[in-house]
Structure 1
Amino acid sequence: MREGGSGVVATSSTSLELSSNSNSSNGSATASIELLSSGPPQVILERLKDYGQEDTFALWDELTLDERHLLVKDIQTLDLSRLDRIIRCSLGVQGVPSPSIEPVPEPSVSTVEQRTLDQREKWWNMGLKAISQGKLAVLLLSGGQGTRLGSSDPKGCFNIGLPSGKSLFQLQAERILCVQKLALQSVNEGSAGFVPIHWYIMTSPFTDEATRKFFEIHKYFGLEADQITFFQQGTIPCVTKDGRFIMETPYRVAKAPDGNGGVYSALKTSKLLEDMAMRGVKYLDCYGVDNALVRVADPTFLGYFIDKGVVAAAKVVRKAYPQEKVGVFVQKGKGGPLSVVEYSELDQQTACAINQETGRLRFCWSNVCLHMFTLDFLNQVANGLEKDSIYHLAEKKIPSVHGYTNGLKLEQFIFDAFTYAPTTALFEVQREEEFAPVKNANGSNFDTPDSARLLVLRLHTRWVVAAGGFLTHSVPLYLTGVEISPLCSYAGENLEAICRGRTFHAPCEISF
């Protein structure tokens, strides 16, 4: 297991102030506390005034010496010049009209009905070859807790109730193991030059320790510890609508994770882009943790990506209905780049617009956070997002020293990368085969563990029947099914020897 950095960057001037007042010797520490008893450190206070954030020390006189020390340390972790640039740029785009949007051009999308068996086989083999050569790495976005699921654990630890009792992390790890086996078989079983798939897992300050422990306890689910790298996304202060820091307590600035798009700056500051290059990685498969059907390191998608020669690609599903709460891919202006527009940004007329030729929604390609990028492009994205410093603003009730305060969380999203892509391709997949989101607790109307579990069981039931197997069941079949271990089959292949002529009683797990 390799360690990645946190993605936190310190401001040079405040870091110097910290080093001058907080040396490791007891005498220096005492001197630091004595200085804090006389008033806020002048250098830091002046620095805060430069950026209009001097109110951070507003309650200084009410703090104990220990609390003053905590406040100073908290401020010293902040890159004030960078934060000032982000706040000004992000607030500055409010009210600025967005470019007009156009439907995604048809040539940019590979639809399910267009694909031939020969194409699928070609892409599958191309993908397996690239994987066997170590050109693909996998990036998991796993910074969220399962709060909406009724759990304080990282989402990936969640058990959606499958017969096996496997967590989301285990399902994904075993799919990586299966793809590795398929890739090895495709070139030469026992090939000495085979390179395992490296798995980069982005956590947050709220999930990092628990995620690492979960993997350790479960012995990395059969993967080698050194083929997994954990790293943390950054946090960013919450601000008022005029850009002032909100204080969570009198001695701590309120902070929140910087969004799943924080992965780009985290990869850069942690030097993991260089790590990937050193490993020979050319392509990165990026996905979110809360999809029970995610095809991690999908050879077909990789082969399609390589064949198209683009720098960015995404799997998409057709929008189920006009008001579905999903972001959709659009083209920004005539001939502009493909981008994602959130459902909240589409007015009803646009969301319901129909293509008269096809009878389908004009804006129908839903983003489901299944992306592929070249490594070279990721370097460009990290630099571009840092230079532009524009974050999405989310109005939230922020816990603060004054109770809950109306404020703003600043976030970047994983799909922000597409704005920088000169070439993008979309790859349609069947929702019922690759998209089983786990976002809300059971009892909610959609995207629950129960709904995800049924999608998995129904898909695997179809695989068993297609492979010549039979099912019996004591409850209605639409409420149950069978689970096939990812170690047996990645996407329904190689099941005849296990299933043909056999009868399985649902619900159950089929494994070796």
Structure 2
Amino acid sequence: MAGATQSLQSLWAATPKSESIVELLRLEGQILNMDRMQETTERLKRFSQTHLLVGAEKLSAQALTRFLNQINSLPLEELADMLAQTSSQKSRDLSVLTPPNVIRYDTASAADFRAAGEQMIRRGQVAAFTVAGGQGTRLGWRGPKGTYPATVVTGKPLFRVFAEQILASERRYSVRIPWFIMTSPQNDSDTRAFFADNNYFGRQKYEHVFIPQGVVPCTDADGNILMSAAGEIATNPDGHGGAIRALHNSGALKEMSARGITQVSYFQIDNPLVRAIDPIFLGAHVGAAGTSGEMSSKCVPKRNAAEKVGVLCNIPTAAGSRTTVIEYSDLPHAMAHQRDAAGELAFGAANIAVHVLSVEFAMRLAISGDTQLPWHRAHKKVPCFDAATGAHKQPDKPNAYKFECFIFDALPLARSSITLQTSRMEEFAPIKNAEGEDSPASSHRIQSDRNGAWLESVGVVIPRRTDGSVDAKIEIGPLAALEANDLRNRTAIKSIRRGEEFVM
């Protein structure tokens, strides 16, 4: 034991009070073995992060075990690259951007796209993937955002809305559709419990795969990793672009490949009008002119030039024109207001975070160093802990950098990508804010407008306000209809009264 202690002491010369850590391990029954401690310390030395061990001798053996587990799970090997990449990022020349090549949802090719997409679904080649790591805090809701009551009358939670969509598609195409759900460390256990408590909404348990999102450490301006408390590193989720890494690290991509799945329908949790399994979009992704079948996107027309939403556009590269997304805050005012010959916004293709990715493309992104998604950093206020003084700090101005990557940064890495424009009323009613735009109230209005239009298409008289919006609360569940045509011969009602609550 003495020899091991002396060896570690020589390795930990730069780490304050390291002998006390060794003594703690000895006194607590060596819960952590010396080899692991040695490896951890050497790893921290390689990345100049040994300050993390300051004060570690005050932790209990159990807390120290958790702390070392957290340290060893961090992507320290990437951190130096993340810091170098984000600190040297240059602003892009946005003057070279051009509007995207958009395919309209109602083109003459829609029938062909639908047939191709339905064939893939029937063959079991399609999986659903939902980014659901968020909490409902901004909505005043305690729990995962996917548990938030989203529908107009019955208040079905978002998870149920998508589960019923997938179940309806399974019944229609006589196939099992696996659903991969990316959670976060904050909501993983609650999400799993919610599905179990609801008996997986009538679907098979084994068709649900929960994948925790990765995290990355927060740093100060010098690249030093921050701590949030004694024995706990300050971290943040690695962004929706972390979905690729999570799918790879969890083994989900290999599982998909083994099951013969070739395409992944990607969407985020906060939009109850998403078509989780859309045969037309799937067919366009693999069969439209100009697609490489690697990654495709959906868009809707921007509400107005000032809407705070990223836009899809084309950017020239050495390999030719590629699709990309420009965040609303980066788009110059003149370009945001630019009009085309038809009087429409030239850069008005709003990104709604709905994509199809091929499994092969996702695998290439995950394992090839040449196609990894770039990191972005944001200067934020992060509460932190000073281990040397034992003080907790609540900053009044940004003191730390958070790192994340974005799924749309994969678009320029595809050889050729297509963008399918759909109707905002049909497919975009996000619930992001407690009030105002993109709130539960605005989402309910859009949902009622869509459902009212569906019923009108089969002859039902719908009451409308002077502004054209539906003057009733109308809810049509996915098990009743996935699209307007499904309502033919399914309803005997002739009209809905003004102010009525109607559910199918």
User: What band does the TM-score fall into relative to the shorter chain?
Assistant: 0.7 to 0.9
Select 1:142's aligned residue among 132, 148, 156.
132
Contact 2:375–2:404 (Cα < 8 Å) also in 1: yes
Mapped partners of 2:72, 2:227: distance in 1? 15
Note the C-alpha offset of 1:101. Answer: 5.2
Mapped partners of 1:33, 1:377: distance in 2? 40
Q: Does residue 349 of the first structure (1) align with residue 334 of the second (2)?
A: yes
Question: What residue in structure 2 maps to residue 89 of structure 1?
Answer: 85
Note the C-alpha offset of 1:282. Answer: 1.1
Mapped partners of 2:95, 2:167: distance in 1? 41
Mapped partners of 2:411, 2:121: distance in 1? 24
Question: What residue in structure 2 maps to residue 75 of structure 1?
Answer: 71
Residue type at the aligned position of 1:494: D
Select 2:449's aligned residue among 449, 453, 458.
458
Q: Does residue 492 of the first structure (1) align with residue 484 of the second (2)?
A: yes
Q: Does residue 220 of the first structure (1) align with residue 200 of the second (2)?
A: yes
Mapped partners of 1:178, 1:499: distance in 2? 18
Note the C-alpha offset of 1:219. Answer: 1.2
Where 2:475 maps in the other structure, the secondary structure is strand
Note the C-alpha offset of 1:198. Answer: 1.2
**In structure 2, do the counterparts of structure 1 residues 102 and 499 end up closer, same or farther at CA, with 3 Å as the change threshold?**
farther
Instruction: Please show how residues 386-405 of structure 1 align to structure 2 within 5 Å.
Output: 388=372, 390-401=374-385, 402-405=392-395
Unaligned runs of 5+ in 1: 1-12, 14-21, 185-194
Mapped partners of 1:148, 1:437: distance in 2? 13
Contact 1:398–1:407 (Cα < 8 Å) also in 2: yes
Note the C-alpha offset of 1:368. Answer: 0.4
Note the C-alpha offset of 1:84. Answer: 3.0
Question: What residue in structure 2 maps to residue 429 of structure 1?
Answer: 422
Where 2:489 maps in the other structure, the secondary structure is helix
Question: What residue in structure 1 maps to residue 475 of structure 2?
Answer: 483
Mapped partners of 2:237, 2:205: distance in 1? 26
Question: What residue in structure 1 maps to residue 323 of structure 2?
Answer: 338
Residue type at the aligned position of 1:201: I
Unaligned runs of 5+ in 2: 1-10, 12-20, 386-391
Kindly provide the CA deviation profile for residues 267-289 of structure 1, in whole angstroms up to 9, marking residues without a partner as x: 11111111001111111110001
Note the C-alpha offset of 1:413. Answer: 1.2
Mapped partners of 1:27, 1:48: distance in 2? 22
Kindly provide the CA deviation profile for residues 42-97 of structure 1, in whole angstroms up to 9, marking residues without a partner as x: 6534432321212222344665666545433432332422333333333332xx23
**In structure 2, do the counterparts of structure 1 residues 306 and 41 end up closer, same or farther at CA, with 3 Å as the change threshold?**
closer
**In structure 2, do the counterparts of structure 1 residues 227 and 386 end up closer, same or farther at CA, with 3 Å as the change threshold?**
farther
Kindly provide the CA deviation profile for residues 217-257 of structure 1, in whole angstroms up to 9, marking residues without a partner as x: 11111211121111111111111122111110132110111
Question: What residue in structure 1 maps to residue 29 of structure 2?
Answer: 30
Q: Does residue 202 of the first structure (1) align with residue 202 of the second (2)?
A: no
Select 1:98's aligned residue among 72, 92, 95.
92
Mapped partners of 1:222, 1:34: distance in 2? 46
Kindly provide the CA deviation profile for residues 315-348 of structure 1, in whole angstroms up to 9, marking residues without a partner as x: 1011222221111112223633211111111222
Contact 1:163–1:507 (Cα < 8 Å) also in 2: no
Residue type at the aligned position of 1:98: R
Instruction: Please show how residues 83-482 of structure 1 align to structure 2 within 5 Å.
Output: 83-93=79-89, 96-100=90-94, 102-104=96-98, 108-112=101-105, 115-116=107-108, 119-160=109-150, 162-184=152-174, 195-308=175-288, 309-310=291-292, 311-333=294-316, 335-355=320-340, 357-384=341-368, 388=372, 390-401=374-385, 402-405=392-395, 406-441=399-434, 444-471=435-462, 478-482=470-474
Contact 2:117–2:279 (Cα < 8 Å) also in 1: yes
Note the C-alpha offset of 1:404. Answer: 2.9
Note the C-alpha offset of 1:112. Answer: 4.6
**In structure 2, do the counterparts of structure 1 residues 450 and 407 end up closer, same or farther at CA, with 3 Å as the change threshold?**
same
Contact 1:110–1:426 (Cα < 8 Å) also in 2: yes
Residue type at the aligned position of 1:457: S
Note the C-alpha offset of 1:182. Answer: 2.7
Where 2:490 maps in the other structure, the secondary structure is helix
Mapped partners of 2:302, 2:351: distance in 1? 9
Q: Does residue 53 of the first structure (1) align with residue 49 of the second (2)?
A: yes
Mapped partners of 1:174, 1:101: distance in 2? 44
**In structure 2, do the counterparts of structure 1 residues 367 and 491 end up closer, same or farther at CA, with 3 Å as the change threshold?**
same
Residue type at the aligned position of 1:319: K
Residue type at the aligned position of 1:326: V
**In structure 2, do the counterparts of structure 1 residues 421 and 34 end up closer, same or farther at CA, with 3 Å as the change threshold?**
closer
Residue type at the aligned position of 2:411: F
Same amino acid, percent of matched pairs:
30
Mapped partners of 1:333, 1:425: distance in 2? 15
**In structure 2, do the counterparts of structure 1 residues 92 and 183 end up closer, same or farther at CA, with 3 Å as the change threshold?**
same
Note the C-alpha offset of 1:104. Answer: 4.5
Mapped partners of 1:66, 1:173: distance in 2? 39
Mapped partners of 2:438, 2:75: distance in 1? 38
Under a length normalisation based on structure 2, what TM-score does the superposition of the two structures give? 0.85
Kindly provide the CA deviation profile for residues 159-200 of structure 1, in whole angstroms up to 9, marking residues without a partner as x: 03521221111111111122223324xxxxxxxxxx311111
Residue type at the aligned position of 2:128: V
Residue type at the aligned position of 1:97: S
